[in-house]
Structure 1
Amino acid sequence: MNPLTEKQIRASFVNASRREAAQATLPDLEALDWDRLDYLGWRDRKAPLSAYAVVPVDGEPVGVLLRSTDAKSGGRRRRALCAWCEDVVVTEDVSLYVARRAGASGRRGNTVGTLICTDFRCSANVRRTPTRTELGDDDSMRDTIVELRIDGLRDRSSRFVTEVLRDA
């Protein structure tokens, strides 16, 4: 993912008011390893039910404001498969995130939701070493499996954001 500035991130939000975008607590952008991120996602440490994801769509960053009823807020999380990274190893730290749709549809209260890793670790999950079960007897497939996972994450996260934008 291309490195983003605070201004670019705040301007990228499609389903948040200017006030919501201005009040978002951003992560430490200098500490991020942008080369190993397929999207930028974080929970707002000042507002535990708020989270954000900035996903490249057609080469442009598109930010969405997300809400969770269970992300680190004391709610009971269930074992589930993240819809973005589809990691079969990490299934106990997945939360339901809901995004208001962009535009008039969102102002009418329409939302779209999906299961995502609670701490947005999808980029790390897809880069983990494949298990023996995933590889079988063919160690030469290691890099191919990781690349397929990365492509899948990029596609699924982009499709979610495109769905937030639908009818905007």
Structure 2
Amino acid sequence: MEIVTEEQIRASFVNCSKGEASRLHTPRDLAERPFADLDFLGWRDPGAPDRCALVAERADAPGGLVGITLRFPPPQRGFLHRSLCSLCLTTRPGNGVSLLTARRAGKAGRQGNSVGLYMCTDLACSLYVRGRKQAESGARQDETLTVEQQIERLRTKLDAFLDQVLEG
């Protein structure tokens, strides 16, 4: 992923109002993020613990970026429960993987329609696939695919999810 600015991030959101995008907390450590190893930029909003955001490059988007806001469900599972991330196939205990829901873009989103995807709650899927980060108390599935093929799978699944958000 190319390095992005706060202005580019705020302009990329498709499933919230401009006012909501302007109030959203952006990462303070933007300059330190490992953009070369990211397929998307994801972060939790410190001002709203049940909310996070994701920005990804898309050739068909104005400015080349699509940003979406997502919601976390309240913590419910015990530590013994394990879940699998749909993007990076990392298995995590407890709340390490959550169903993140995104309001659809446009009229459908204003009518309350949303889509969801099971994702790592720390939004570090790109780093797990590349082996740059290890999941605490978690494990990656044994893979026969190369790292490049796993990255392509992650990007394909992310694009499919973003397509669902944009269908609104």
Q: TM-score range by the shorter chain?
A: 0.7 to 0.9
Map 1:1-168 to 2 at 5 A: 1-27=1-27, 28-58=29-59, 60-70=64-74, 74-76=75-77, 78-87=81-90, 90-92=91-93, 93-128=96-131, 134=143, 145-166=146-167, 168=168
Map Cα deviations across residues 36-70 of structure 1 (whole Å, 9 max, x no partner): 11100111011100100011223621000101113
Q: Is the 8 A contact 1:56 1:158 kept in 2?
A: no
* Residue ranges of structure 1 left out of the alignment (5+ in a row): 136-143
Q: Normalised by the size of structure 2, how large is the TM-score?
A: 0.84
Deviation at 1:128, TM superposition (A): 1.8
Report the 3-state secondary structure (helix = DSSP H, G, I; strand = E; otherwise coil) of the residue aligned with 1:45. coil
Q: Distance between the aligned counterparts of 1:21 and 1:44, measured in 2?
A: 12
**Matched length:** 154
Deviation at 1:91, TM superposition (A): 2.2
Letter in 2 for 1:98: T
Q: Which amino acid is the alignment partner of residue 100 of structure 1?
A: R
- Between the two proteins, what is the percent identity of the paired residues? 43
Runs of 4+ in 1 over 3 A off after TM superposition: none
Please state whether the residue corresponding to 1:42 is helix, strand or coil: strand
**Counterparts of 1:81 and 1:56 in 2: how far apart (Å)?**
24
Greater strand proportion: 2
Of structures 1 and 2, the larger Rg is shown by: 1
Q: Could you say what secondary structure the match of 1:8 adopts?
A: helix
Give the corresponding residue for 2:137: none
* Alignment-mate amino acid for residue 159 of structure 1: A
Structure-1-length-normalised TM-score: 0.84
CA distance in 2, matches of 1:75, 1:16: 27
Distance in 2 of aligned mates of 1:33 and 1:164: 26
Q: Between Structure 1 and Structure 2, which shows a larger proportion of helix residues?
A: 1
